[in-house]
Amino acid sequence: MAELTGNLGMEFEDLKPMLDHVTIEMPAMKNIIEKRHSHIRIDETAQIDSLLKAVTCIDLTTLCGDDTECNVKNLCHKAKNPLQQSLLDSLGINYEEFHIAAVCVYPARISNCVETLTNINADVKVAAVAAGFPSAQYFLSTKLKEIELCVLNGANEIDIVISRDLVLEGKFKELYDEVKAMKNVCGSSVTLKTIIAAGELGSLENVYKASLICMAAGSDFIKTSTGKEAVNATLLIAKTMAQAIKEYYNKTGFEVGFKPAGGIRTVKDVLLFQDLIKKELGSKWMHPHLFRIGASGLLRDIERKIFEHVTGYAPANHLFTY
Question: Catalytic amino acids?
Answer: 223, 259
Burial class of residue 253 (count of CB atoms within 10 Å of its CB; 0-12, 13-18, 19+):
middle
Contact assessment for residue 253 and residue 10, using Cβ atoms and an 8 Å cutoff = no
Query: Of the candidates 178, 233, 230, which has an alpha carbon nearest to the alpha carbon of residue 59?
Result: 233
SS3 call for 197: coil
As a whole number of angstroms, the distance between CA 120 and CA 118 comes to 6
Query: Of the candidates 188, 119, 114, 101, which has an alpha carbon nearest to the alpha carbon of residue 153?
Result: 114
As a whole number of angstroms, the distance between CA 130 and CA 22 comes to 29
Sequence-distant contacts of 148-153: CB under 8 A, at least 24 apart: 148/185, 149/107, 150/107, 150/110, 151/185, 151/186, 151/187, 151/190, 153/107, 153/110, 153/111, 153/114, 153/128
3-class secondary structure per residue, 210-278? HHHHHHHCCCCEEECCCCCCCCCCCHHHHHHHHHHHHHHHHHHCCCCEEECECCCCCHHHHHHHHHHHH
Contact assessment for residue 69 and residue 59, using Cβ atoms and an 8 Å cutoff = no
Sequence-distant contacts of 165-169: CB under 8 A, at least 24 apart: 167/196, 167/201, 167/202, 167/206, 167/209, 167/210, 168/201, 168/202, 168/206
